[in-house]
Each structure stands twice: as C-alpha cells, then as structure tokens.
Chain A
Amino acid sequence: MDIKGPNLVKGIHLEGLRVLGKPADFARYYYEQGADELMFMDVVASLYERNSLHDIISETAKSIFIPITVGGGLRSIADIKAVLRAGADKVCLNTAAINNPQLIKEATRMFGSSTIVVAIEATKESNGNYLAYTDNGREYTGIDVFEWAQKLDEMNVGELVITSVDREGTGEGFDIDLIAKITSLVSMPVIAHGGAGKREHVSSLFTKTNVDAVALGSLLHYQFIKTNESIKSDLEGNTEFLKQKRNFHTFEPSSLLDLKSHLEDSEVACRIIRTYEEESYYS
C-alpha cells in the first residue's frame, strides 16, 4: 500500500500517483480477506507528512493482527525506532540502505535481522543488465542488482523485496528472469513485487521460481475499488481516476480470496480464510 499523506495512492512505474482511498479501509478489507502481511510504503516521505504515516500505522496495529511492514524515507535509527514504536513489526529500507550500508548493520544488530527488510528497485538496462535505483525508481546508482542482493544477504538482512520498476503498476506480469535469478543467489526470503495484472501471473511466478512471497498492489486495489463504492468520500488530491471508474485494459483485478483459491488450485500452498465466523472472537 503506497501512502501519500493521509491517502492510499497508486502509480505506474512508481510515478504518476493517483489517490485511491483511505489506507485504513483497504487495510481492514485485506485483513478480512486473508492478507498475510501488510506493507505500507510512504512514497513521498516528506518530513511534515510523517505524522500521518505514524497515525495510519497505530490505527492499523490496534485492530489488525498480522505483520505490518513500513518503509519509505527511513534514513536513521531514530526513524526506524519511531515507526516500530508506532506499531510496525518490521521496516523496509531502500535509499538509505544503498547510501549508507552501515545503517543496515546497525539496524540488524539493534532490532534483529528479522525486523529489517530491504527493497531493491530493479530496472533492466538496454544491455540486459539490471541496475538498482532509489527514490521510487528515479535515482540512478549504477549498482548491479545481483551483486547488491548478495551483499545484503551477507549483511544478514531479514527479507528482500525485489521490485521490477519496469513492470510496476503495468499489469504486464512479473519479470520472471529477474526473480528467478535473485532467489537462486540469496538465502533470505525473497518477496516479488511489480507487474501482477491477473491471477495467473501470480500462480506462474510461484510455479516457475523459488520465490517465498509476493507483494501486490494494483491487482487487489482495483478490485477493492470496484466492490466498495463508499471509499471516495472526502478524499483530497488527484481523484479523477477514481471518478472515472476505469481500469487499465491490462488488468484483470482479483479479490484476495479468489486469488488464494486460484493459488490453491495451482498447488501453491497458502493460508486461506474460508469463512468470517472468526469475527465472533471480537468481544
């Protein structure tokens, strides 16, 4: 879930952000549909908007009992402490990790490996090489994605999120070559992100690679918007997209329940919530 100020937003190739709704509505819905983890990425991460991110985390952590990972603009131990204190279980670093690898070492030592997730924004160059970018795919670093992934592995990072910037938000499918190569090189869990446009993209990712998990945005968000009319109230920002109620032709949006049933049919083991009777456990 990409967050800008108080809103959940979505772009294409991590750019061109549109407002989709309130993060709390999406978080609750995905939790009830059987999401295994929620990931909030502060895509603008300006200092003065940081408080609204902390509010979103605290509110979510009060009633949503699955792991919560928070990333975007975390540059220091103090930043990491602040989001963990707000109720996050893990943090996701990217720009700061590349600019200051020492931060990863310090953070894994202080908070434990399992608390530190690193994201790599990978872009395929015309010569076929993959390079790591920062700041939502904008900043060139010249760092080779695979070498960087192996370094992170040696630094005992807990988990790795690999984002294909070329595919992100397009619905064209995952970059299978990229994901397969990364999983063959590292021994930490790898989470694939970027490109899912239909259920089959997700199932084929799991059958063709050894990836451990998948992070989904648009595929689920667009289905949520289709099925939940009320979310448009009092939103600010670029909401034209919402009003038009259109999908990109490349997407066949899916609910999380349908997606997980499809995965089960494809013999990919996953946790499925079959009924909502668990609701009664709330007192």
Chain B
Amino acid sequence: MKKKVIIVDYNLGNLFSVKQACDSVGIAATISSDKAEIEDADALILPGVGAFIEAMHNLEQLDLVDAIKNSVAKGKPFFGICLGLQLIFSRSEEFGSGEGLNLIEGVIKKFPATYEDRKIKVPQIAWNTIRSGDQSWETSPLFDMDQDEFMYFVHSYYVEPASESCVLTRTDYEGLDYCSGILQDNIFAVQFHPEKSAQKGISIYKNWATTNNLI
C-alpha cells in the first residue's frame, strides 16, 4: 500500500515542482500546512527557498515545529530540500536568526564574497557536481548515482555540520568545498534541487521512496 507523504507548506518556495516530481515517480504526496495531517503522515518532505529566519518564523506561526520534530523522532522518513536541509541544523549565522529545528548539530553559513582571493558569485545559481562524503551512498537514495553527477543548485548559505559523520555529499564551489547533502538515520537532506536536476534528480525521489518503502 502506498504510504502517505506530506510536502510541508510554510509559505516559502515553489512546492509545485516538488509535487510534480513526487507524482512522476508514484509518491502519494499532499501539500499541507496542517499540523494534524503532518503528525499523521508516514513521511515528510520539507522543501523551501529563501531565508532561514523567515522559514523558522513561519513554521512557528503555523505551530509545525514540534510536529516535524516528533515525526523525525518517531523514525519516520524525512526528506529536506535546499532550505529544508538548512532548517534541520542548530542555527544560522544569518542576521537575526535564532535556532533551527536542531535535529542535527551544525551551523548555516553564508558563502563569502571572496575565497582564497577568488571572487565567489553569491547566490550560487548553477549546475554543480556532487561526490561522496563520510556517509556511504550504498544504502542512501544515491545508491545508483555516479560520482561527480551534476545537480542544480540555488543558494547563498551552506551548512557546516559539527560532525562529518552525517555528510553524504560534498560539492566544490569556486574552491570552497562544502557539505551539499546529509544522511543520518531517517533524515535525508540535500542542498540542491533534485526536482530541477533532470532524470538523475528525479531518480533521487524514486530511490528515497523505494528505500523507505513508501511506494
């Protein structure tokens, strides 16, 4: 039986393409900001583009912070995308930001304007490649992915996890090597947009669903 997946809507970003990606691989996903539905779901997708501070503010206003935390604590599959990856960490250096969902220890940092005397374009709006971090891809949704596959990125901030052990993918942006994907138990999250990364990206949705028995 198909499991019930909720795409958490907290008024940031284009959820349409995430929903289309789910549809295309047979994930029964519903877009919702309803606390009860989110608590009831078998798995959560947390997408989003924009500011950390605004995102946490919206999640608090909608009273969804505990619902998301509880779902993860119960071991339900969680899939964070872009801002959805950043939100699961402890805090952001973004001006005025408070705590994140604090599911994994780590800090969200802004790309510097220059790195080792090279100018960095911020935000990064580009196709860029991913390669393995400390976590093995074998049991992750990337199990059939080649190293250095291109994914589509749009972001100004990146995560610096407290421990390398959760790092699933790393990406090099103008010489700055950063964590672009994480896997820790039931938490899977990526900084890039699989739903905008053509068939290789869509395969990540499919693999996340199959490895978690959601379809």
Contact = CB atoms under 8 A, between A and B. Distances in A.
Bound together: yes
A61 interface: yes
Nearest to B23: A62
Interface string A264-283: 00000001010000110111
B40 to A, nearest CB: 25
A197 B115 CA distance: 37
Interface in B141-168: 150, 152, 154
B16 interface: yes
A172 interface: no
A262 B198 CA distance: 21
Interface stretch (A63-71, A95-103, A245-253): A63-71
A65 B201 contact: yes
B203 interface: yes
A193 B14 CA distance: 27
B199 A113 contact: no
Contact of B20 (A34, A62, A114, A282): A62
Interface in A60-103: 61-63, 65-67, 84-85, 87, 89
B14 A89 contact: yes
B58 interface: no
Nearest to A34: B198
B126 A189 contact: yes
Nearest to B152: A67
A282 B14 contact: no
B14 to A, nearest CB: 6
Interface string A106-122: 00000011100000000
Interface in A133-181: 158-159
B49 A114 contact: yes
A279 B16 CA distance: 22
A158 B199 contact: no
Contact of A283 (B14, B26, B50, B201): B26
B24 A158 contact: no
Nearest to B204: A281
A137 to B, nearest CB: 26
A87 B127 contact: no
B195 interface: yes
Contact of B121 (A61, A189, A282): A189
A281 B195 contact: no
A31 B206 contact: no
A87 B16 contact: yes
A212 interface: yes
B125 interface: yes
B202 A65 contact: yes
Nearest to B205: A281
A242 interface: no
A233 B198 CA distance: 29
A188 B120 CA distance: 9
A127 B119 CA distance: 33
A279 B203 CA distance: 10
Given A65-B201, A66-B198, A281-B203, A112 B49 contact: yes
A84 B49 CA distance: 14
A46 interface: no
B199 A279 contact: yes
B200 interface: yes
B16 A188 contact: no
Which has the most chain A C-beta neighbours within 10 Å: B50, B199, B200?
A: B199
Contact of A65 (B14, B26, B127, B197): B197
Contacts of A283: 24-26, 206, 215
Given A65-B198, A67-B152, A187-B119, 11 more contacts: A65-B195, A65-B202, A84-B14, A89-B14, A89-B196, A114-B123, A158-B123, A159-B125, A278-B199, A278-B200, A282-B24
Interface of A: 31, 34, 36, 61-63, 65-67, 84-85, 87, 89, 112-114, 158-159, 187-189, 212, 271, 273, 278-279, 281-283
Interface of B: 14, 16-17, 20-21, 24-26, 49-50, 119, 121, 123, 125-127, 150, 152, 154, 195-203, 206, 215
14 contacts: A36-B127, A65-B201, A66-B196, A67-B152, A67-B196, A87-B16, A87-B20, A89-B14, A113-B123, A158-B125, A212-B126, A271-B127, A271-B150, A283-B206
